[in-house]
Amino acid sequence: MLVQVGDLLILNAFGLIVYALLLRFYMQLLRAPFRNPVGTFVTALTNWIVLPVRRVIPGLLGIDLATILLAWVLEALMVTLLMWLHSTSLSSAPGIAAGLLFGIAAIKIVEASLYLLFGAVVLHVLMSWLNSHSPIGPLLDALTRPFYRIFQRFIPPVGNVDLSPIFVLVGIQLLLLLIPKLS
């Protein structure tokens, strides 16, 4: 019972910060607008940890290295805490264990990024149907448009309906199947 409570608390606390860091990273990478409720929330939630690290780790070619590195390190810390909670050990060699731990964290970051994109696509489709003038519409458009364009080159709209979100969602699901399950 206590292990399950610990799991829940660790996954939710670290998960919120890691997803917020990833969203901030992708918003900056894809030049998404921050002047909306989601951008304000993400900035307020992550500034306390990102701004001090940016003083030490500068960006590179428009890529916010501090934010993605923080997400990766926090994911590794979350995996470490979960393994400790479940009394699991990676290896007796510290160098191998650290390498394996950060490898697992990298895989988890890729998985979280795919889930983030999946959520953005679903929200974008729903918002385009329900409220196309929503304040988060431009944000969702900026996050999903590069992925839609891949399929829009080959698949024309059918009856003025863009089918590219369906193909993006299927592609995400296929990629998620290829990622090894480490839980």
Each residue of 41-53: pLDDT tens digit? 999 999 999 999 9
Reduced to 3 states (helix: H, G, I; strand: E, B; else coil), residue 63 is: strand
pLDDT-derived band at 90 (thresholds 50, 70, 90) equals low
- Alpha-helix runs per DSSP H in 30-136: 37-56, 65-85, 94-130
Is 39 in contact with 27 (CB distance < 8 Å)? yes
Is 44 in contact with 131 (CB distance < 8 Å)? no
Residues 113-169 pLDDT 10s: 999 999 999 999 999 888 888 889 999 999 999 999 999 999 888 888 899 999 999
Q: Is the pLDDT of residue 72 over 90?
A: yes
Q: pLDDT at position 106, please?
A: 93
Q: Is the pLDDT of residue 92 over 60?
A: no
Tell the burial category of 117 from Cβ atoms under 10 Å away from its Cβ (0-12, 13-18, 19+): buried
pTM for the model stands at 0.90
Domain segments of the chain: what residues?
A: 2-178
